[in-house]
Amino acid sequence: MKELVILTGYSGAGKSTAAGLLEDLGFFCIDNLPPEVIYQVASLVLPSVEKLAIVIDVRGYMFGNVTKAIKDIKERFPFTKVIFLTATKETLVQRFAHTRRSHPLSKQATSIMEAIDLEAEMMKDILEMADIVIDTSQMNPHQLREKLTKVLEPTEGKDFTVHIISFGFKYGIPLDADFVFDVRFFPNPFYIPELRPKDGRDEEVKEFLRNIEGITEYLNRIKSVILFAINRYHSEGRKELIIAIGCTGGKHRSVYFAEELSSQLEKENFKTTVEHRDVALG
C-alpha cells in the first residue's frame, strides 16, 4: 500500500533527524519543496515508490500557500499523513544555542525568541490540520525513531519476516542466526524404529512430540521471546529476523518446532519462511 508523509514542524524540532529516520524506514525523502510543486512531484514520484516523504519547513511559506498545497494533496492522495514536529520554546532556544545555527526567520525578527514566536504564528494552520503531532522536547534520536515507527506502522511488526531454520547440531550451527534454540533435551523420535525414517512434518512424529511434557510450554516460551525481539528490532527499523532451532540430527524435533513456530507466528499475521537445512541428513 502506498504511503505519503508530509513532514513539517518548527525549526529545531528535529525534522532533519526525522527525515533520516524515515529514509531508514524505507521512505524516499524530498526536502524543502516549494508548495506549488508538491502535488506535481508527488504525482510524478509515487507511481515508482511505495513510500514517499516530503519535508516542508517555514521557508516554504515564502513561496506560496502551504495550507492549500497540503489540502490539495490530501484530497488527491487520501492516504497522506501530515506529521508535525514541535517542541517547547525553551527547548528550541537551547538547541539553536547548542548548534549555533541561525533560525530561518532570523532576518524577520530581532531575537531567537521572536523568530520562534513568528514561526509558530505562521504554522498554526498546519499544526491544526496535522494528523500526527510529536513533541520532541524530551526525545533523543532513538526515541524519535521508535515514535515514528509506531505512528507510521500501527500494526507494529506485522510486515516483519521471520526466517526459521531447523538444523542438526552435529552439522554445525547456522552462522547467520540471530537466535539459536536447543531442543535436544526432549526425547528423540530417532530411537523409535517406526519414527526413525520419518521427520518432524509427519503426523506420527508430530503426535509423538505433542504428548511429551514441556513441549508446548517450551514452544510458547520461544514464541514469547521472538515476539519481544520483533517489537524491539522493529522499533530500530529492522524488518527480518533469523531463528535457528536445533536438535541432534536436524530431522525430527527441530523440524517439528520450526513448523509449529511458523504456524503460530503466521496466526499473529507475521510473514515466515521455513528452511529444514539438515532434514535429509539426520
The binding site for ATP consists of 9-16
Q: How far apart are CA 215 and CA 179, in angstroms?
A: 19
| Cα 34–chain centre separation | 29
| Cα 78–chain centre separation | 22
Q: How far apart are CA 42 and CA 36, in angstroms?
A: 11
Q: Which residues are annotated as a binding site for GTP?
A: 57-60
Q: How far apart are CA 218 and CA 224, in angstroms?
A: 10
What CA–CA distances, in Å, run from 158 to 153, 194, 265?
A: 9, 40, 10
Q: Which residues are annotated as a binding site?
A: 9-16, 57-60
Residues in contact with 90: Cβ distance below 8 Å, sequence separation at least 6, in sequence order:
none
